[in-house]
Structure formats: C-alpha cells, structure tokens
Structure 1
Amino acid sequence: MSEQGRTRRKGYEKGDEEEHPLYRYVCDREEQTGFPLLHTHRIFLKRRGLDSRLRVLILVLACSVLVSRLFSVVKRGESLQWMMVIAALLYLQWHRCRVEQEAVVVMPTLGVQLETVYCSKSVKRRFVPLHRILLPVINEAVTPTTCYSYLALLLRDEARLTLTFLHVRPPLSMLVPIRAALCAAVEQPSLQTAP
C-alpha cells in the first residue's frame, strides 16, 4: 500500500502515551483511505526485574519446603531432583499465564475487539459488534483490600457487564480516553438503525 493511501498518526485528545508506575498506556490512531479511523488503546504491564526474581526465589523456597515434607521418605539426593522438576514446572506455568498487554481496538462501523497478549506470545481475542453495545461505563469496584476503577460494556440482551480489561487494573486517567472513543463510536447516527 502506498504512503498516500495509508497514514498513521498517534495520539488521542490528551496525547499518545501515559506513564504509571505499573502500566504504560499507548493510543494509536490509524486511518486508511476508504475506511474509518481505527483507535487502538493498549495498556502494557511494566516489568520489574527485582520483583520477578524475588517471586521466583520465593517459589523455589516454597517448593523446597513442600518437597521436603512430601518426600521425607525418599533419599536426600532424589528429593533435590524432584524439587527442581516441580519448581521448573511451576515457573513455566506461571510465566506462560502472565499477561504482557491488553488492548481495546475500536472499529467505528464494526465493533470493538478486546485483546489479551500473554508472555508466551499467545493472543486471546473477543469481538463485540457495535450494534450490541448500549453504553460503555466506568465503574468502581471495592474489595476488602483495595478500590479500583474498571471499564465495562453494557450490552443488549445480556444481564452481565463485559469487562474490557480482564487482567490489568489501569488508573482512571487511562480509562477516560478509551471510554470517550467507545462513546464516539457507539453514538454514530448511521449505527442507530442497526438491529
């Protein structure tokens, strides 16, 4: 595709990036000739080397205690081998399930695609057609230990809310521009007559 046919711009209202101690927010706006403006809102989890190393160390110590209790009848040389195997399997499972980023892709005439990218590079996608979205809402969840905001989609013919970010809890300042893009896509007059 030629350069004139496709232009890529970054930014949406407040800017294209926002930093937080745990997350990084990036908004891409992509426009192609003949297609409406496409908004991609990505939230990346920041990696902290010391935290992950500390978690692995705690995991190995916990496995060693567990193995020493479970295999107390096994010879000492064999229990070390079992401990290493169990620790390696637990670490691989933990690393495979870790989330690298989550994204909301707003396609104004089609719908919303919700993506989750894992550290194992597997991607999980969910698509919500635009005619099913009644309203994007920002709610506040209160748990015994914390309070956080989340963005959800109120859908037609569904009693439950559809959460946009399942694994990350971005701050309110990152959720506001995403909700604004979703509201702009939902309130288009051409889509009000859709079934």
Structure 2
Amino acid sequence: MVDENSIVNRRYTYMRECKWPTEAIDIHHVFARRSSAKRFFIYLSVVVVLSNTLFLLLSKSESISVLLSSLIISGFFVKLLLWKPVEKESVIIMPALGVQLETHYLSGRIMRRFFPLGKILRPVLLESVTPTTCYWSLLLVVRDEGELMPVFKELRPPVKMLVPIWKALCATIDDKKGPDTNDGS
C-alpha cells in the first residue's frame, strides 16, 4: 500500500508512520526491497551446491579436495548473493527525548542507537563521491563525538527519501533550541 507518506523506487521503500500525534513521535522507515530474481539465484545456487555435493559423494571419488573446493566456491557465491541482510532502517524522532536509530536485520536482530536531543547539534545531508559512485548520506553532528554519526549505517537511500527525514530532524532540533539560543547567526 503506497500513500502520500511513501516513496518507492527500485531498491528502497520510504514510509512515514503516523500512529501517534505528530508532536509525540515521528517514525520514518526505509525498507530494502528484495528482488525476486535475486531470490531465484539464491535458491538456484543452493540447489547447485547440494547436487554438486551429492554427485561428488556418490561418484566414489577419492578426491576430497575437489569436494571441499566446490563447497567453498559455492558457499562464497551464496554469501555474495546474501550480502545485505538488512530488512529496514528506522529513524524514530521523539521531540521530548531524542532520536533513536534502528537497523532491523533479516535474522531478527535489531541494533538501536539513541541520541538525546540536547547532544544533537545539527542533521546534515552530505553528498559522498567515490571513484565508482555518488550517493547522499544523512548524518548527525553530535556534541562530544569525534565524527559524524550516520543515520543509515547499512542502506543508501536516494536523496528524495532522505529529505523528509532531514526536514523532520531539523524542525525538531530547531524547536528545542528556542528563540533565546545563540546559534552563531
């Protein structure tokens, strides 16, 4: 179901959850979309590994090195296809408390990081350029930290999905600063 609070592209789905009043809590999710072609290749590689192992065991071959090298290469292929085990990453903005960042893995494990609002100086959209690609990142400038804190540690959603999250973070942090705070301007 796609509504006005959702953005969908080939690799990711962005969704803003509005269960509670906007003033109480604001939840932004970015889901990694799984392609059916990738899933097909995973199942195909598992079938190839199992059939290759069964063939080598039934062929009465004395060469265990052929079996082990076949298993290692096939296992590497399966691991390569399963490289991104992330289901979704979420940004939970609680204006009274702070920002909680969550990474949900396919295994069911959830990694959480919490930053109190008083420690967050500014959210920043940053364009990162590498020799092979260019992508946008959403980062938090946090007081007493030696480096910028990435909001999305595993996923690289496009800038059109990062902008609504960035705007919500800016609005929350600017509201907490208040009119009497000297921010250098």
TM-score (norm 1): 0.71
Count of aligned pairs between the two proteins: 169
Q: CA deviation at 1:51?
A: 2.1
Q: Residues of 1 paired with 2:5 and 2:124: CA distance?
A: 22
Q: Residues of 1 paired with 2:132 and 2:45: CA distance?
A: 23
Counterpart of 1:145? 132
Counterpart of 1:45? 32
Which of 84, 106, 121 is the matching residue for 2:93?
Answer: 106
Counterpart of 2:10? 21
Q: CA deviation at 1:156?
A: 1.0
Instruction: Summarize the Cα distance change of 1:106–1:120 in structure 2 as closer, same or farther, 3 Å threshold.
Output: same
The AA in structure 1 aligned to 2:141 is: L
1:153-193 deviation per Cα after TM superposition (whole angstroms, max 9, x unaligned) = 01112231000001111111111100111011111247788
Greater Cα offset, 81-90 or 160-169: 81-90
Please give the root-mean-square deviation of Cα atoms over the aligned residues, in Å. 3.6
Instruction: Extract unaligned runs of 5+ from structure 1.
Output: 1-9, 63-73
Q: Residues of 2 paired with 1:149 and 1:88: CA distance?
A: 33
1:52-96 deviation per Cα after TM superposition (whole angstroms, max 9, x unaligned) = 43366569989xxxxxxxxxxx82478447745885698479759
Q: Residues of 1 paired with 2:176 and 2:153: CA distance?
A: 30
The AA in structure 1 aligned to 2:112 is: R
Instruction: Extract unaligned runs of 5+ from structure 2.
Output: 50-60
User: Any idea what SS the aligned residue of 2:147 has?
Assistant: coil
Instruction: Summarize the Cα distance change of 1:139–1:178 in structure 2 as closer, same or farther, 3 Å threshold.
Output: same
Instruction: Summarize the Cα distance change of 1:189–1:96 in structure 2 as closer, same or farther, 3 Å threshold.
Output: closer
Q: Residues of 2 paired with 1:123 and 1:93: CA distance?
A: 22
TM-score (norm 2): 0.75
Greater Cα offset, 97-106 or 141-150: 97-106
